[in-house]
Chains A and B, each alone.
Chain A
Amino acid sequence: MTDQTLLTIDDIDVVYDVDPPVHAVRGVSLRLERGEILGLAGESGCGKTTLAYAIQRLLRPPAVISAGGVIFHDRDGDDIDITALGTDALRRFRWDKVSMVFQGAMNALNPVKNIGSQLEDVFLTHRPEMSRAERRAQCAELLEIVQVGRDRLRSYPHELSGGMRQRVMIAMALALKPQLMIMDEPTTALDVLIQREILQQISELRSRFGFSVIFITHDLPLLLEISDRIAIMKAGEIVELDTPANIYRGARHEYTRTLLSSFPSLTGDRGGFLRTGEAR
């Protein structure tokens, strides 16, 4: 392990304790570098979201981490064993060190509270020493950073477009300058033009603030473009972990090749795709 390592996931198992038990994550080990974007690709039910939740210990019963550990290597040199944190320590850890951007931006914001107060919640909880004016200023600045604009502080989620809501979520994730952001399908529900803008924003913010990203999606072509490394997940296991170039040029695992071939090339050849009307 180098001091460039930010997060070590060590042989983690997640089981849904039902009858019969379902193994959602099986023996996953990962090492995340500081400042890196790690893509986590897989189809629905492969365990990618469960793994993300396990890192923050957000799993709810009946899901439990049955084995393995997650170590967070803090900027100041401390190693934090997330799986061993007590309730209060865990609460302090969350969002301060690792924040999340969730899938459905539609439902990820509380519909009856305005954007400003949901942002402020973060500071109220984690930075109780801040004055009211400081909090307000910080929230306004965050909205400026993600280009939503400070005049939206008093807006409610339903008054914003899907893209705006996702930017607000990113602003919120950015609030405490965490070292890791976990993004679960952050752009899946968005149109491709807005998706591109948000991806650019994420990449700019990363170079400005230096956080690492675990980017979860089923959209492998997207990951090939934005990731430093890609992990391919299937049935709870990581079947392949490599750089985008290596995965693109020489995927070793059969399933990776299936996934790759499921996305036809936009400007290249057809690959396995049949065209209608070809027979004529």
Chain B
Amino acid sequence: MRFLLRRAVFYLFTLWAAITINFFLPRFMKGDPITAYLARNQGKVSPEAIESLKVLFGLNTDRPLWQQYLDYWGLLLQGDLGRSLSKGLAPVSEVIADALPWTVGLVGIATLISFFVGTSIGTYIGWRRGSRAEFVVPVATFLSTVPYFWLGLIMIALFSTTLGWFPASHAYDKTLTPALSWEFISNVIYHGTLPALTIVITSLGGWILGMRNMMITVLDEDYITVAQAKGLSPRRVVVNYAARNAVLPQLSSFALSLGFIVGGTLIMEMIFSYPGLGLRLFEATLAKDYPLMQGIFLVITLSVLVANIIADIAHAALDPRTRQEEAL
């Protein structure tokens, strides 16, 4: 328990540091896009929106810094991240809430599929070292070097433009209204296939190679020989003894890649015009929409933190040696 407690303290500290940096950054920035924007749009912005933007971007200089800092936390705790300048002054939190499910859904599912398929293939070819299954290795190496935006463009050119099998952009047909109906969900899957496939194909190689290499290391361990001497079935040896140990480092990389789901798909969402967080970040950058950018950065920081917490918990659940640190 002490171990988890220590980790929790560590994460709380990181969270605090990230938010505090987020607080200070605009205060150190040269120029003042917010005041300029407010001046241009005088009268169109509601007083309370002005107030929250001032607090978030350090324009409330009439108040002492520590007061500003407390006000800032007050807003965050209410979920108020300011107003998006490029989205008709919609609350930033709403813009993010609209985009986040698309990104998490598409990239999250694709990453999960890639991880499970890649790890399984890696387990198999690691176990069958030296067999014909090894042909996968150069293929995987090649796949892991393919840049995903390049593959994305090829996918669009081939499956959308030339063959017309899949749509090239958007998350669903504009004619549909989002609903929990089969029609809508199948349409979403249909639209998501190409981007998801792009992510799966480009990240698969890494999972295969990582797992295969760990398998080969683990297979040399004494406990594998013991398991074989015990007469256990190959299935049990592979799953309970070899893969169970080899997967531990894989999990850490998996958690890290979860952290990059939110932030790391900007180009993919641009290529496929997918209405996720990456596309919003891109638009915000073009429009100099600072409140939206800052809000998205905060969400990215949070998601990396959450991913690390998940990695810690998974590690503690699967590796008893991590848990033992409690005793020290």
Q: Which residues of A contact B (CB under 8 A)?
A: 56, 58, 61, 90-96, 99-100, 102-104, 107-114, 121-122, 124-126, 156, 158-159, 169, 172
Contact = CB atoms under 8 A, between A and B. Distances in A.
Contact of A125 (B223, B231, B241, B319): B231
Contacts of B319: 111-112
Given A107-B221, A109-B223, A110-B244, 4 more contacts: A58-B229, A95-B229, A104-B222, A111-B245
Interface residues of B, number: 24
A122 B229 contact: no
B226 A102 contact: yes
B40 interface: no
Contact of A96 (B226, B231, B233, B244): B231
A126 B245 contact: no
A107 B222 contact: yes
Contacts of B320: 111-112, 114, 156, 158-159
A95 B318 contact: no
B230 A95 contact: yes
A100 B233 contact: no
Contacts of A92: 231
A113 B222 contact: no
A213 B319 CA distance: 35
A109 B244 CA distance: 13
Nearest to A94: B231
Given A110-B244, A111-B320, A93 B231 contact: yes
A99 B222 CA distance: 15
B244 to A, nearest CB: 6
Interface string B190-230: 00000000000000000000000000000001110111111
A61 B130 contact: yes
B132 interface: no
B230 A110 contact: no
Contacts of B324: 156, 158-159
A107 B223 contact: yes
7 contacts: A91-B233, A109-B223, A113-B241, A124-B236, A126-B231, A158-B324, A159-B320
Contact of A108 (B130, B222, B232, B233): B222
A232 B36 CA distance: 92
Name the residue among B236, B240, B248 with the largest chain A CB count within 10 angstroms. B240
B321 interface: yes
Contacts of B227: 110, 121
B318 to A, nearest CB: 7
B236 A113 contact: no
Interface in B303-325: 318-321, 324
Contact of B241 (A56, A96, A110): A110
